[in-house]
Structure 1
Amino acid sequence: MTKAELVSAMAEKTGLTNKDVAAAVNAFTESVKEALVKGDKVQLVGFGTFEVAERAARMGRNPSTGESIQIAASKTAKWKPSSALKSDLN
């Protein structure tokens, strides 16, 4: 499902216009992003949790040359589904 398809589906379920739903979706994604940048986690009961995970520095290999390279430590966003969502999927 693309963002446009999500907006259309939400507009159909809520009776709101696509423009209003698109603004809400954009506000939601921006709010989650801002919270993650600050290091906070976002918990949506019944859906899941968004949080920041830290990746340690590690050695990698350039696939074209076979040369070993150092991969720097980094942060990434991760999402963990709730147990309710997991049970709905299974």
Structure 2
Amino acid sequence: MNLTKQALIDTITQELGASGTPISKTQVDAVLMRYSVVAARTIKAGGELPLPGIGKLKTIQRVARTGRNPATGAPIDIPAKTTVKLTVSKVLEETINEI
């Protein structure tokens, strides 16, 4: 099951309403948009960002390396870069791997 942004907003609104915390879809959308702004600012500054119940986002440095063009097999240089990594929480990992 994949969720679109709108489906995520609808689901959060329904879940909160069912638990006794009514909130509008506009408010949920505003919180998600503001969270993305805070996330970008925090990660850009080299910090870590918690995703409660999911894990943690943090930056990692990838070293420069030589790769291969899959179409031609020719070697190509891949430059070093900073990227974002998700470290999954233990609870989520255990939930996913339950038998």
TM-score, scaled to structure 2: 0.81
Question: Which residue of structure 2 lines up, in the alignment, with residue 9 of structure 1?
Answer: 11
Give the Cα separation in 2 of the matches to 1:27 and 1:54. Answer: 26
Question: Which residue of structure 1 lines up, in the alignment, with residue 30 of structure 2?
Answer: 23
Give the Cα separation in 1 of the matches to 2:93 and 2:75. Answer: 39
- Picking from 41, 63, 69, the partner of 1:62 is 69
SS of 1:35 mapped into structure 2: helix
TM-score, scaled to structure 1: 0.88
* Pairwise CA distance, 1:60: 1.1
- Picking from 83, 87, 91, the partner of 1:76 is 83
Supply the RMSD in Å over aligned alpha carbons. Answer: 1.4
- Give the unaligned 5+ runs of structure 1: none
Give the Cα separation in 2 of the matches to 1:39 and 1:33. Answer: 10
Equivalent residues, number:
90
* Pairwise CA distance, 1:45: 4.9
